[in-house]
Amino acid sequence: RKPIIPYEEIGPDKLSQLVDAFYERVAAHPKLKPIFPDDLTETARKQKQFLTQYLGGPNIYSQEHGHPMLRARHMPFPITPARAQAWLECMHEAMDEVELEGKIRDDFYHRLVLTAHHMTNRPDQEE
Protein backbone atom coordinates (compact mmCIF):
# COMPACT_ATOMS: atom_id res chain seq x y z
CA ARG A 1 0.00 0.00 0.00
CA LYS A 2 1.13 3.48 -0.83
CA PRO A 3 1.65 5.55 2.36
CA ILE A 4 -0.58 8.59 2.58
CA ILE A 5 1.32 11.86 2.97
CA PRO A 6 -1.05 14.41 4.54
CA TYR A 7 0.72 17.29 2.77
CA GLU A 8 0.01 15.68 -0.59
CA GLU A 9 -3.59 14.98 0.29
CA ILE A 10 -4.27 18.54 1.50
CA GLY A 11 -2.13 20.23 -1.17
CA PRO A 12 -0.15 23.48 -1.02
CA ASP A 13 -3.06 25.74 -2.05
CA LYS A 14 -5.43 24.59 0.69
CA LEU A 15 -2.62 24.64 3.27
CA SER A 16 -1.83 28.22 2.32
CA GLN A 17 -5.52 29.21 2.55
CA LEU A 18 -5.72 27.50 5.95
CA VAL A 19 -2.77 29.45 7.34
CA ASP A 20 -4.16 32.76 6.02
CA ALA A 21 -7.60 32.02 7.50
CA PHE A 22 -5.90 31.07 10.79
CA TYR A 23 -3.85 34.30 11.15
CA GLU A 24 -6.90 36.43 10.27
CA ARG A 25 -8.46 35.00 13.43
CA VAL A 26 -5.28 35.30 15.48
CA ALA A 27 -5.05 39.00 14.54
CA ALA A 28 -8.59 39.55 15.84
CA HIS A 29 -8.40 37.40 18.99
CA PRO A 30 -8.14 39.36 22.25
CA LYS A 31 -5.97 36.68 23.91
CA LEU A 32 -3.61 36.20 20.95
CA LYS A 33 -3.32 39.60 19.24
CA PRO A 34 -1.18 41.13 22.06
CA ILE A 35 1.63 38.56 21.79
CA PHE A 36 1.88 38.49 17.97
CA PRO A 37 3.54 41.07 15.69
CA ASP A 38 1.15 43.59 14.09
CA ASP A 39 2.22 42.47 10.64
CA LEU A 40 1.70 38.72 10.36
CA THR A 41 3.05 38.37 6.79
CA GLU A 42 6.36 36.84 7.87
CA THR A 43 4.74 34.75 10.62
CA ALA A 44 2.32 33.26 8.07
CA ARG A 45 5.15 32.60 5.62
CA LYS A 46 7.11 30.67 8.27
CA GLN A 47 4.01 28.78 9.41
CA LYS A 48 3.31 27.67 5.81
CA GLN A 49 6.89 26.41 5.61
CA PHE A 50 6.63 24.69 8.99
CA LEU A 51 3.29 22.98 8.38
CA THR A 52 4.50 21.78 4.98
CA GLN A 53 7.19 19.71 6.67
CA TYR A 54 5.03 18.84 9.71
CA LEU A 55 2.60 17.18 7.27
CA GLY A 56 5.30 15.22 5.48
CA GLY A 57 6.09 17.63 2.63
CA PRO A 58 9.52 19.03 1.73
CA ASN A 59 11.64 20.33 4.66
CA ILE A 60 11.44 23.96 3.57
CA TYR A 61 11.20 25.38 7.11
CA SER A 62 14.41 23.69 8.28
CA GLN A 63 16.23 24.58 5.05
CA GLU A 64 15.75 28.27 5.79
CA HIS A 65 15.57 28.43 9.60
CA GLY A 66 17.33 25.30 10.91
CA HIS A 67 15.88 22.83 13.40
CA PRO A 68 12.36 23.98 14.40
CA MET A 69 12.96 23.67 18.21
CA LEU A 70 9.40 24.94 18.48
CA ARG A 71 9.10 24.89 22.26
CA ALA A 72 12.33 26.89 22.62
CA ARG A 73 11.28 29.37 19.91
CA HIS A 74 8.01 29.95 21.79
CA MET A 75 9.64 30.51 25.21
CA PRO A 76 9.84 34.32 24.84
CA PHE A 77 6.03 34.38 24.48
CA PRO A 78 3.73 33.72 27.45
CA ILE A 79 1.74 30.73 26.26
CA THR A 80 -0.84 29.93 28.91
CA PRO A 81 -3.37 27.07 28.73
CA ALA A 82 -6.01 29.69 27.80
CA ARG A 83 -3.85 30.94 24.91
CA ALA A 84 -3.20 27.40 23.68
CA GLN A 85 -6.97 26.86 23.70
CA ALA A 86 -7.51 30.12 21.79
CA TRP A 87 -4.86 29.09 19.21
CA LEU A 88 -6.64 25.77 18.69
CA GLU A 89 -10.04 27.47 18.36
CA CYS A 90 -8.66 29.76 15.64
CA MET A 91 -7.28 26.71 13.83
CA HIS A 92 -10.55 24.80 14.19
CA GLU A 93 -12.49 27.73 12.70
CA ALA A 94 -9.92 28.12 9.91
CA MET A 95 -10.35 24.43 9.06
CA ASP A 96 -14.11 25.00 8.88
CA GLU A 97 -13.61 28.03 6.63
CA VAL A 98 -11.43 26.21 4.09
CA GLU A 99 -13.60 23.09 4.38
CA LEU A 100 -10.85 20.75 5.46
CA GLU A 101 -12.86 17.69 6.43
CA GLY A 102 -12.72 14.01 7.28
CA LYS A 103 -9.93 11.84 8.69
CA ILE A 104 -7.20 14.07 7.27
CA ARG A 105 -8.60 16.99 9.27
CA ASP A 106 -9.15 14.95 12.45
CA ASP A 107 -5.62 13.50 12.40
CA PHE A 108 -4.03 16.90 11.66
CA TYR A 109 -6.09 18.67 14.35
CA HIS A 110 -5.28 15.99 16.92
CA ARG A 111 -1.55 16.43 16.29
CA LEU A 112 -1.95 20.20 16.68
CA VAL A 113 -3.70 19.70 20.03
CA LEU A 114 -0.67 17.76 21.29
CA THR A 115 1.80 20.30 19.85
CA ALA A 116 -0.17 23.25 21.29
CA HIS A 117 -0.11 21.66 24.75
CA HIS A 118 3.62 21.09 24.36
CA MET A 119 4.07 24.85 23.63
CA THR A 120 2.36 25.86 26.88
CA ASN A 121 5.03 27.49 29.01
CA ARG A 122 3.24 29.65 31.63
CA PRO A 123 0.37 29.02 34.06
CA ASP A 124 -2.94 30.81 33.39
CA GLN A 125 -2.63 33.36 36.20
CA GLU A 126 0.45 34.93 34.56
CA GLU A 127 -1.62 35.95 31.58
The sign of the CA dihedral 3, 6, 10, 13 is: negative
CB-CB contact of 32 with 26 (8 Å): yes
Among 2, 13, 30, 37, binds ligand HEM (CB under 6 A): 37
Among 18, 19, 83, 105, binds ligand HEM (CB under 6 A): 83
Report which residue type is found at 14.
K
Interface stretch with ligand HEM, choices 1-9, 12-20, 70-78, 92-100 (CB under 6 A):
70-78
> If residue 51 lies in a helix (H) or strand (E), which one and from where to where?
helix 41-54
CB-CB contact of 126 with 80 (8 Å): yes
CB atoms within 10 A of CB 22: 23
* Using rule CB under 6 A, residue 62 touches ligand HEM: no
* Using rule CB under 6 A, residue 108 touches ligand HEM: no
Interface stretch with ligand HEM, choices 1-9, 13-21, 39-47, 98-106 (CB under 6 A):
39-47
DSSP code, position 34? G
Q: How far is the CB of 13 from ligand HEM (least distance, A)?
A: 19
Residue ranges in contact with ligand HEM by CB under 6 A: 32, 35-37, 42-43, 46-47, 50, 54, 65, 70, 73-74, 77, 79, 83-84, 87, 112, 115-116, 119
